[in-house]
Amino acid sequence: MKNIKLIISAVFLTLFSISCNEEDFLNEEPFDFYSPENSFTTPEQIDLAIVRLYKDSQSVFVGGVVNTFALFYTTDVGYDAIDPTHQLNSWADKITPETPEVKWYWVNLYKMVANANVVLSRIDGVAYASEAERNVKIAETKFFRALAYRTLGIMYGGVPLALEELSAPKRDYVRASQADVFAQVISDLEDGATNLPEADAVEQDGRVSKGAANHLLAEMYIITQEYDKAIAAATAVIDNPNYALMTERFGSRVSEPGDVYWDLFRRNNVNRGTENKEAIWVAQYEHLAPGGGDPDNFARFLAPLYWQLKDDDGVNIFFSHSSQNGGRGIGWWAASDYMLNQVWEGSNNDMRNSDFNIIRDVLVDNPESKFFGQLMVASGSIDNFPDPYKRWWSALFAKSLPIGNFPADVIADPATGETNNGASSTFNDRYMMRLAETYLLRAEAYILKGDQASAATDINAVRSRANADPVLAAEVDIDYLLDERARELFTEEFRLLTLMRMNKIVERVRLHNPMHNGTYESFNINETQNLWPIPNTEIERNTEATLEQNPGY
């Protein structure tokens, strides 16, 4: 007995005293995530990191709902239609270092920069079949870094330039000059203009090409007042046989009544893969697919709250929100009178103002209304409906609404076209750059250079496609150009950035924004507000150096 006891004890005590190899035992092995060390080592992985940049750019400019609309409704073309004190309606009161949108753009653009820097810092260690292949990927990455810094530079001025992957925390950022920021952008874009493939040679439809880099370069050279370079960059796009303004009906819905401008914005007509030669760079959306992209919620936010309108008997004018009327809008923001009416004054046959593209009246479709079957506005059915800020009705901008073409899953009743709450998006790819804008950029450069004739030619290239009367050279100036941009690019161009880079935001908001020009309110926009403030949280966190705030904030 005693022996057994001793043996068992000895066995246990031996176990007890044997310690396993501590280092092995405590070694930590990741199983379900990647590390930078094993993630950016092959060309395929590098490309996935670049794919992420496409998503980042989509998040900043297209997704993000309320935040992205700040690029539109804070300007001359739009306003928040809910009420004067809502969201960012008053520049002086609402654009401050505490404003969530102010932080949102800063944070997300810098995240895009950081993601680009990881690729640029790692790509040299990756084996590529050729230097040319590597250079394409470098150029593609730099395009996105440039896009981020161009936007940061326009919005915030001279921002800190971070150009390397970070391996340790950093809290001592200082601002570069705005000129340095733009110089960096141009340097990155020039790389792109050299090394990116042509539009017909990109790996997948939706990837950026030389054209995209040149288009953005043209804008940058205008900012840096290098107009000849701007003209050259724009010309490189305009003269490129891959691109052309679409002048004939095309795409999936040619058989329906419409016009070519209408065709340009139909679902599945936007990508270059669908015979569209006007697209330069398109943000990708694929309905319901994993990674399909953030929905572009114009159909919810810009479309009016029409389906709640009542006639003077108090009877609903519409039986419901419906696909044929553009889905379930809530009229969160609306086009200003400038956008809705003034820019079209004197235009006769401008296709962009056609009944297909800007729908200013619709048929009353609730059989219980005495106006059933009549045009809502023309019949006077809503004359007595209180709509102080045109939230319930102004117009439907068909280019940002899949009118009559919502996906089946947001249709509540196929027989009537009634939609459910999901009918809130364009469900469409979205132009980030379109050739019409390249013409207008070149026109801008010509104007600034003093060559009004060439500017008029370019503007007329855009106008003639839209059947609009040509403009005379003498009539062309920056304000005319801005009007033309509004006509051609409403809901496409990021109007806030356009006006800020032209130093026009203060003037134009005071003139045309109904919350500032006295139409609804006379809110203030300060002279210094051509730049947004730096978020206070960033100043606070940057403990080891001072980030100077922009003047006036």
Pick one of 235, 341, 416, 537: the residue that binds other proteins (CB under 8 A).
Answer: 537
Contact 508, 79 (CB under 8 A): no
Q: Does 254 bind other proteins (CB under 8 A)?
A: no
Q: Does 198 bind other proteins (CB under 8 A)?
A: no
Phi, psi (deg, nearest 5) at residue 121: -80, -25
Number of chain positions touching other proteins (CB under 8 A) = 109
Written as six digits, the tokens of 312 are: 């003077």
Four-CA torsion 255, 257, 261, 263, nearest 10 degrees: -30
Binding residues for other proteins restricted to 426-485, rule: CB under 8 A = 429
Give the nearer residue to other proteins in terms of CB position, either 346 or 386.
386
CB of 8 vs other proteins, minimal distance in Å: 7
Pick one of 129, 132, 168, 474: the residue that binds other proteins (CB under 8 A).
Answer: 168
Give the nearer residue to other proteins in terms of CB position, either 82 or 377.
82
CB of 449 vs other proteins, minimal distance in Å: 36
CA–CA gap between residue 525 and residue 531 (Å, rounded): 11
Contact 404, 396 (CB under 8 A): no
Q: Does 174 bind other proteins (CB under 8 A)?
A: no
Contact 58, 283 (CB under 8 A): yes
CA–CA gap between residue 428 and residue 294 (Å, rounded): 10
Binding residues for other proteins restricted to 129-158, rule: CB under 8 A = none
Pick one of 7, 163, 177, 273: the residue that binds other proteins (CB under 8 A).
Answer: 273
CB of 516 vs other proteins, minimal distance in Å: 14
Give the nearer residue to other proteins in terms of CB position, either 233 or 331.
331
Pick one of 205, 259, 361, 451: the residue that binds other proteins (CB under 8 A).
Answer: 205
Q: Does 204 bind other proteins (CB under 8 A)?
A: yes
Pick one of 176, 410, 459, 505: the residue that binds other proteins (CB under 8 A).
Answer: 410
Pairing mode, strands 333-335 and 279-283: unpaired
Binding residues for other proteins restricted to 275-314, rule: CB under 8 A = 284, 286, 288-293, 307-308
**Residue 279: strand pairing partners:** 434
CB of 74 vs other proteins, minimal distance in Å: 14
Contact 206, 432 (CB under 8 A): no
Query: With 0-12 CB in 10 A as exposed, 13-18 as middle and 19+ as buried, what is 165?
Result: middle
Pick one of 41, 43, 51, 224: the residue that binds other proteins (CB under 8 A).
Answer: 51
H helices of 313-370, in order, are: 337-340
H helices of 157-204, in order, are: 178-195
Contact 80, 515 (CB under 8 A): yes
Q: Does 268 bind other proteins (CB under 8 A)?
A: yes
